[in-house]
Amino acid sequence: MTIRITTLDNGLRIITDPVQTVETASVGAWVEVGARHEQRDLNGVSHLLEHMAFKGTKRRSARAIVEEIEAVGGHLNAYTSRENTAYFAKVLKEDVPLAIDLIGDILQNSTLDQEELERERAVVIQEIHQANDTPDDIVFDRFQETAFPDQPMGRPILGSAAGIEGMPRATIKNFMDEQYSGNRIVVAAAGNVDHDAFVTQAKSIFTQLPPNNPHGTEPVTYRGGDYREKRDLEQVHLVMGFDGISHNDPDYYPLAVLSTLLGGGMSSRLFQEAREKRGLVYSIYTFASSYEDGGLFGIYAGTGGDDIGDLVPVICDEVKNVRESVHEGEVMRARAQLKSSTLMALESTSARCEQAARQLQIYGSAIPNEEVIEKIDAVDTKAVMRVAGRLFTTIPTVAAIGPTQNLAEYDRIQDHLN
């Protein structure tokens, strides 16, 4: 079946990816608003707003929202990221009208009831405390803050406990009214869904969105640096990384292959060298985060305080080696991993729904899977070494939490990488 796109008069875009052989459908709204769109004194408002959206509308109480979706065996959820907030549901095919009605209701008619807000504030503050008590979680926030200091992209998605505690209801409501406009929302559906019928439903539901609202986004400025926090733990949780690239960068697919080759599986260089050959870690992997106008590449490892001094040189050596020598066999394995994960995702209507929405937001259209596979297949050893040389010569970012006394000084790590 063919992916179709329709734009309503209010700027809202609708995309469907029909799969008529399944009995379910995934439906969602992806809003181009996230942590990077918040002013300093509003840090965490996008995530708090995501929580509050389920706490009652002009038509439904918080309990009625969950009872209605669960009465048909469906489920409703949401998440906040640095560049978007998503509200989504999965239901049987005959319940698509209910799912889109619920999502439209919470996006347009949330009451942000003061009593519910106070309760949810407490929930979010508990979430913040839980993250702070989880070193292999919070270290990624510290890594982000160190890479992008003094700018929205570096601030935590959850915000701070003090900020959430003192955020007035009027501020949250104003943020939603100003940011949740039609031109910044993509409504997507994948599975057993008819495009024309879905558009008709969405058109009748999304009638209260504010007019198109142009918005400025502070550009990303990567700086890098060093963050260390001593804690009485069994392990040091370490994230090392470098400047990254945007979704639209020509090296996007070479970077994906590089990340897989270096730390994307059990056959990857870092896993083999640090775990299999030396036994220095239980967990080690790479990740590449791409944004609208930049990105971040990172390596996570957890190791004992006595082993961190041996582990960091191993990581540095592998980072240097991949700039100079890459073998065709490992590139082929990395390409195969990426292609299989791309094609396996097609078996999930939820994954297809999110993919369609994000591609429309990022590229302005859906990208055929054949084109994605073709771009992955086009990556060769020279492309991998080129992007490694491009990124791994930038200023490094180091973030570590735990018994860090044996971790080499930042200048020594930088010298080793060079």
Q: What is the pLDDT along the chain (418 residues), one digit of tens a residue?
A: 599 999 999 999 999 999 999 999 999 999 999 999 999 999 999 999 999 989 999 999 999 999 999 999 999 999 999 999 999 999 999 999 999 999 999 999 999 999 999 999 999 999 999 999 999 999 999 999 999 999 999 999 999 999 999 999 999 999 999 999 999 999 999 999 999 999 999 999 999 998 776 667 889 999 999 999 999 999 999 999 999 999 999 999 999 999 999 999 999 999 999 999 999 999 999 999 999 999 999 999 999 999 999 999 999 999 999 999 999 999 999 999 999 999 999 999 999 999 999 999 999 999 999 999 999 999 999 999 999 999 999 999 999 999 999 999 999 999 999 8
Tell me, what's the pLDDT at 214? 67
> Of 205, 237, 252, which marks where a domain is finished?
205
The span from the CA of 191 to the CA of 198, in Å, is 12
- Please check whether residue 220 lies inside any domain of the structure: no
Cβ density class 283-298: b for 16+ within 10 Å, e for less: ebbbbbbbbbbbbbbb
Q: Are 177 and 209 in contact (CB under 8 A)?
A: no
Q: Are residues 166 and 289 in the same domain?
A: no
Q: What are phi and psi of 301, to 5 degrees?
A: -150, 145
Strand ranges, E, within 251-364: 283-290, 295-304
Name the DSSP letter for residue 110: B
Listed in sequence order, the residues at least 6 apart from 276 whose beta carbon sits closer than 8 Å to its beta carbon are 266
Regarding whether 147 and 291 lie in a shared domain, the answer is no
Which of 271, 213, 198, 169 shows the shortest CA–CA distance to 15? 198
Find tokens 């495009």 and name the residue. 195
DSSP summary character for residue 406: G
Burial per residue of 337-348, b for 16 or more beta-carbon CB atoms within 10 angstroms, e otherwise: bbeeebeeeeeb
> Does 199 share its domain with 95?
yes
Specify whether 267 is located in the same domain as 149.
Answer: no
Is 50 assigned a catalytic role?
Answer: yes
Task: Choose the catalytic residue: 50, 83, 292, 318.
Answer: 50
- Mark whether 324 and 412 lie in a shared domain: yes
Residue 214 domain-assigned (yes or no): no
- Determine contact, residues 263/271, Cβ cutoff 8 Å: yes
Same domain, yes or no, for 16 and 135? yes
Q: Is the Cα torsion angle 193, 195, 196, 201 positive or negative in sign?
A: positive
**Order of strands across the sheet with 75-80?**
4-7, 13-18, 185-191, 24-31, 85-92, 75-80
Q: What is the pTM of this model?
A: 0.94
The answer to whether residues 237 and 198 belong to one domain is no
Residues 182, 281 within the same domain: no
Q: Which segments of 224-307 does DSSP mark as H helices, in order?
A: 252-263, 269-270
Which CATH number do you get for residue 316? Answer: 3.30.830.10
List of long-range contacts for 356-361, beta carbons under 8 Å, 24+ apart: 356/3, 356/15, 356/16, 356/17, 356/188, 356/190, 357/15, 357/28, 357/30, 357/86, 357/186, 357/187, 357/188, 358/30, 358/84, 360/5, 360/13, 360/15, 360/186, 360/188, 361/30, 361/32, 361/84, 361/186
213 lies in some domain: no
Residue 218 lies in a domain: no
| Domain, as residue range, for 402 | 225-417
Q: For residue 240, what are its two tokens?
A: 């090392």
Specify the number of domains making up the chain: 2
Cite the DSSP H helix spans in 74-113: 96-108
Q: Report helix, strand or coil for 67.
A: helix
Residues 184, 245: one domain?
no
- Residues 385, 340 within the same domain: yes
Which amino acid, 400?
A
What is the per-residue pLDDT for 1?
58
| 112/299 Cα distance (integer angstroms) | 40
| Number of alpha helices (DSSP H) and beta strands (DSSP E) in the chain | 16, 11
Instruction: For residue 323, tell me if it sits in a domain.
Output: yes
Q: Is residue 211 part of a domain?
A: no
Mark whether 277 and 173 lie in a shared domain: no
Angle CA 66–70–76, to nearest 5: 60
Q: Are residues 62 and 171 in the same domain?
A: yes
Q: What's phi and psi for 311, nearest 5 deg?
A: -70, -45
Distance CA 100, CA 104 (A): 6
